[in-house]
Chain A
Amino acid sequence: AQTVTQSQPEMSVQEAETVTLSCTYDTSESDYYLFWYKQPPSRQMILVIRQEAYKQQNATENRFSVNFQKAAKSFSLKISDSQLGDAAMYFCAYLVGNQFYFGTGTSLTVIP
């Protein structure tokens, strides 16, 4: 069974500081994709970052980066220089065979 676990229901970070959101997944597949999505109060799902499992290099998008540990099946998201606009629900997701499996989400609060 494919499962995605986000062990932190809520996190908070001071503005301009760095925060790391954790995610682990369970799979027997070798070819898959991992994503972090942000869902602000508008409820629109916004792609933050994406990682192909066959790539060893960690993906980076401006202030967002991941620590992908394939053997450990871990895919954490680091947000640097946190901004007020980063406050949202963050979902880790695993995609295989055109089907998404989502984690339960982490609610991030940014403290001014």
Chain B
Amino acid sequence: GAVVSQHPSRVICKSGTSVKIECRSLDFQATTMFWYRQFPKQSLMLMATSNEGSKATYEQGVEKDKFLINHASLTLSTLTVTSAHPEDSSFYICSASWGATEQFFGPGTRLTVL
């Protein structure tokens, strides 16, 4: 149980375009979902926390207008990178939880902006 999926696993886009990444909890209802960014050989950096039906809470330094997060249901959260630029290229990981004792991680999405 507690499986989280992400789609797509890899995406390549042109500079200036927008990209949407989906995060789904497949066998549980996630009251909270989290989005992380990971640069090569570095740790996970929390970008934002989203609760179903409410606005996401962004970490300091994360542009909310650039990284749009929607948590429309208890099983789906989306991250949209708007007007992507090469510096947005990274590995994006989501996680989901239903309580405060554990999070379940998705397999990640590798974004490359040309």
Chain A contact residues, CB within 8 Å of chain B? 33, 35, 37, 42-45, 47, 50, 89, 91, 95, 97-100, 102-105, 107
Contact of A42 with B103 in the complex, beta carbons under 8 Å: no
The residues of A that contact B93 with a CB separation of less than 8 Å are 43, 45
B46: min CB distance to chain A, Å: 7
Contact of A95 with B107 in the complex, beta carbons under 8 Å: no
The residues of A that contact B105 with a CB separation of less than 8 Å are 37, 44-45
Give Cα distance in the complex from A33 to B42, angstroms: 22
Contact of B32 with A104 in the complex, beta carbons under 8 Å: no
Contact of B108 with A43 in the complex, beta carbons under 8 Å: yes
Interface size class of B (residues with CB under 8 A): 20 to 34
Partner of B102, one of A33, A103, A107: A33
A9: min CB distance to chain B, Å: 9
6 CB contacts below 8 A, A to B, read A35-B102, A43-B91, A98-B49, A100-B34, A100-B95, A104-B43
Contact of A91 with B103 in the complex, beta carbons under 8 Å: no
The residues of A that contact B49 with a CB separation of less than 8 Å are 98-99
Q: A43-B107, A45-B105, A100-B34 are in contact. List 11 more A-B contacts (CB 8 A).
A: A33-B102, A35-B102, A43-B110, A45-B44, A91-B43, A95-B103, A97-B100, A98-B97, A104-B43, A105-B43, A107-B41
A27: min CB distance to chain B, Å: 15
The residues of B that contact A97 with a CB separation of less than 8 Å are 100
Contact of A102 with B43 in the complex, beta carbons under 8 Å: yes
Q: Which of B96-114 contact A (CB under 8 A)?
A: 97, 99-103, 105, 107-108, 110
Contact of A44 with B100 in the complex, beta carbons under 8 Å: no
Give Cα distance in the complex from A104 to B45, angstroms: 10
A43: min CB distance to chain B, Å: 5
Known contacts A42-B107, A102-B43, A102-B44, A95 near B102 by CB under 8 Å = yes
Minimum-distance CB pairs A-B, first 5: A45-B105, A98-B100, A102-B43, A43-B108, A44-B107
Give Cα distance in the complex from A63 to B102, angstroms: 22
